[in-house]
Amino acid sequence: MKNKNNDQSIINEQIKYPKVRLIDVLGKQLGIYSSEEAFKIALNQGLDLVVISDKSEPPVCKITDYGKHKFEQEKRAKEAKKKQHQTSVKEVKMRYKIEEHDYRVRLNQALKFLKSGDKVKVTVIFRGREIQHTSLAIELLNKIANDLKDISTIQQHPAKDGKNIIMILSPNKK
């Protein structure tokens, strides 16, 4: 019963409902007609009959130019997609023996990522025997979380991941 096109619209002769609610080109309701009558009315106007809502009782059909209808649907879908923000995870890496200036640089990077709506994975890297100083790394991660507490929340608390300790921060909802 669906159209062969990718948009899955039911049009013209494909409409097999016994009764449909008919809407004209200007959006005015014309009433309830049989599918055949509605199709004939659309045909007389040189336009197509398109099912707008098959969930309602009876299904709603509109008399319209199918090409224009399809274009409007694609345009609305494109606008909706434009307004979506895909959240990604950005990573900020550092060592536990980080200097104050370098710490500020990483903090500003994380702040920029959080403001743009992305999650931030803060990673403290260990080399060799440095792994013995995990408490210092956890202190550093807690300091970052504290410095960014106005704009973010901790999604994953500091945890060991191989030779690294990671923490994930997510932006606060606006």
Instruction: Answer whether residue 139 is part of any domain.
Output: yes
Question: pLDDT digit string (tens) for 144-166?
Answer: 999 999 999 999 999 998 889 99
Pair (115, 162) in one structural domain: yes
Say yes or no: 29 and 102 in one domain: no
| Domain co-membership, 66 together with 93 | no
- Which one-letter DSSP state was computed for residue 6? T
Domain boundary residue, one of 54, 82, 110: 82
Domain membership of residue 159 (yes or no) is yes
6 belongs to a structural domain: no
- Per the structure, the complete domain to which residue 140 belongs is given by 89-171
CA distance 174 to 161: 31
Please tell me what DSSP assigns to residue 133.
G
CA angle 67, 69, 75 (to 5 degrees): 105
Does residue 60 sit in the same domain as residue 110?
no
> Lowest-pLDDT range, 10-14, 107-111, 145-149?
10-14
Burial class (CB in 10 A: 0-12, 13-18, 19+), 90: middle
Task: Report the first-to-last Cα separation within the chain, whole angstroms.
Answer: 44
Is 128 found in the same domain as 95?
A: yes
pLDDT at position 165: 93
Reported pTM: 0.54
Based on the fold, state whether residues 69 and 20 are members of the same structural domain.
yes
Contact 158, 169 (CB under 8 A): no
Q: Is position 5 within any domain?
A: no
Among 82, 100, 133, residue at a domain's last position: 82
Q: Is residue 25 part of a domain?
A: yes
The reply to whether 4 falls in a domain is no
Query: Residue 164 in contact with residue 137, Cβ under 8 Å?
Result: no
Q: Which one is predicted more confidently, 57 or 94?
A: 94
Task: Tell me if 7 is assigned to some domain.
Answer: no
Task: Tell me the C-alpha distance between 91 and 50, whole Å.
Answer: 49
Number of domains in the chain: 2
Which stretches within 18-163 are classed as H helix? 35-44, 66-83, 100-115, 134-147
Tell me the two tokens of residue 94: 């550092």
* Residue where a domain stops, chosen among 29, 49, 82: 82
Q: Decide if pLDDT at 106 tops 90.
A: yes
Residue 3 is assigned to a structural domain of this protein? no
CATH number at residue 37: 3.10.20.80
Contacts of 42 (CB under 8 A, 6+ apart): 12, 48, 49, 63
